[in-house]
Structure 1
Amino acid sequence: MGQLSFFSAQIDQPAYDDLSGLLAAHGQASRSDSGTRVSVVVTEVWRAEALVDEITATGAAAEVVFTDEGNPIARTTHSHELDDLHRRWSSGAVKSMPTGWVPSPRALRLWTIAAGERDGDRFLLGLDPHAPDTHPALATALMRVGVAPTLVGTHGRAHALRIAGKRRLTHLLEYIGEPPATSEAAAHWPAVVGF
């Protein structure tokens, strides 16, 4: 890969707002008297561990726990510092993308770790099946950073944003940086192949 863009997640300062990348995926923000907790159930342990590292870099405390079925969860502790994030991404009890949201490089990196999957010479960013109203808005949000996706998910496939083409994949990689330092992450990370 060539020189990283100055917008890259690897030089961007971590911030609580980066956790919006988990909400763009299938993550959830829940509010209680103790504050807001952001959590996401993932398919593999490497994803949860990498997310905890990324979340911790923002200054939020995080941990990996497991569902009763054994699925890993990356989650923050409850914190009032995350309350504003919850408010912006909620409309009543429903997840709702904030109007005009533009993913920071680190938010897009978290989304990629939580719900990204290589699909041949394309890349899929997973979407929340329980928040279908966010899907078109999230596609528009990616367009704002120069990564024009195609919304997929009909005919029994999982809902996702598909990114295809050398230019778009290269821009995505410049934006999100290198994969977490595991062989599993490298196998699932976007790649510019077959061009």
Structure 2
Amino acid sequence: MSLSGLGDTGKAQPPPALFPAPESDTPTPGRRRGGAPQNRSSEDGPVQNGPPQTDDAGRQLVFFSADAAEPTVADLAGLLAGPGEVVRMGGTARLSVQVDAAWRVHVLVAELASRGLAASWEPTEGARHAVRTSYTRVLKPLAAAWLHGTTKRPPAAFHLTGRRLRLWLAAAGTPEPPDCFLLRLGAEDKECWEPIGVALASAGLAGTLLGPGEGGPAYRIAGRRRLARLAELVGGAPSAAPADAWPTRP
């Protein structure tokens, strides 16, 4: 069963009725004047031209927000910060993630398409859905940065930008009223949990790590100030997302 980045479905079996009509929420990779498409796959972070704009507290608000940057393959590290997985085969790699709601499928497929990656999906146990890319050389640098043998671990210089957080939230973010948000982690990725927490704190989103026995693994982002920061970084809600599933700016 497949779903293309443009919302086309396979003829054999239509998507479940609970799927909203898919719309494109992200721009296609563009070209800068005199340059190539901005579709980098390395883990070296965003390219900065001049100093980032900051508020009085010195936080980097504009440059790192999802609305301020073009989509790149490197953004997919946000899925790996959560429950996403990457596997290698020869000189190629494939990214996959299981999600718990149909709207997430549409958002992620559109996000992948905006980075030039076709994706497919299929239902799994427990009313969940698996979204995955094809094997492609484009994802090889991402796999090289995150895999140590078969173990997933963030690279030493890993940081969270708005677009990475947006992908993580789209795949595994859950509101916890009144003033909390859970960003879920991979259940088998214990070596990732601590460094991901450090990256969250560096982004102004220090959270509390919840273990499997506490409703996790996940980081709980608590407080109106931090939720406002999260909303500021991830940008506006995708059209497919339920109104209460996305953080909103105050």
Contact 1:118 1:189 in 2 (8 A): yes
* Match for residue 167 of structure 1 among 205, 209, 225: 225
- Structure 1 residue 118 corresponds to structure 2 residue 175: yes
Task: Tell me the C-alpha RMSD between the 2 structures.
Answer: 1.9
Partner secondary structure for residue 123 of structure 1: strand
Q: 1:155 to 1:8 in 2, by over 3 A?
A: same
User: Unaligned regions of 5+ residues in structure 1, if any?
Assistant: none
- Structure 1 residue 130 corresponds to structure 2 residue 188: yes
Q: Deviations over 1:131-180 (max 9, x none)?
A: 11211110100111111111112634221111111221111111000111
* Match for residue 22 of structure 1 among 57, 76, 79: 79
TM-score, structure 1 as length reference = 0.89
Alpha-carbon distance between aligned partners in 1 of 2:210 and 2:127, rounded to the nearest angstrom: 28
Higher helix share: 1
Contact 1:14 1:106 in 2 (8 A): yes
Alpha-carbon distance between aligned partners in 2 of 1:137 and 1:153, rounded to the nearest angstrom: 15
Q: Say which is worse superposed, 103-112 or 65-74, in terms of deviation.
A: 65-74
Contact 1:100 1:141 in 2 (8 A): no
- Structure 1 residue 64 corresponds to structure 2 residue 126: no
Q: 1:69 to 1:139 in 2, by over 3 A?
A: closer
Aligned to 1:48: 105
Partner secondary structure for residue 37 of structure 1: strand
Contact 2:104 2:241 in 1 (8 A): no
Shift of 1:183: 5.0
Partner secondary structure for residue 158 of structure 1: coil
Where relative contact order (Cα < 8 A, 6+ residues apart) is larger, the structure is: 1
Shift of 1:77: 1.4
Aligned to 2:136: 79
Alpha-carbon distance between aligned partners in 2 of 1:129 and 1:183, rounded to the nearest angstrom: 24
Alpha-carbon distance between aligned partners in 2 of 1:71 and 1:154, rounded to the nearest angstrom: 19
Alpha-carbon distance between aligned partners in 2 of 1:35 and 1:149, rounded to the nearest angstrom: 34
Count of residues in correspondence between the two structures: 189
Alpha-carbon distance between aligned partners in 1 of 2:64 and 2:249, rounded to the nearest angstrom: 19
- Structure 1 residue 158 corresponds to structure 2 residue 187: no
Q: Amino acid of the residue matched to residue 161 of structure 1?
A: Y
Contact 2:71 2:115 in 1 (8 A): yes
User: Unaligned regions of 5+ residues in structure 2, if any?
Assistant: 1-60
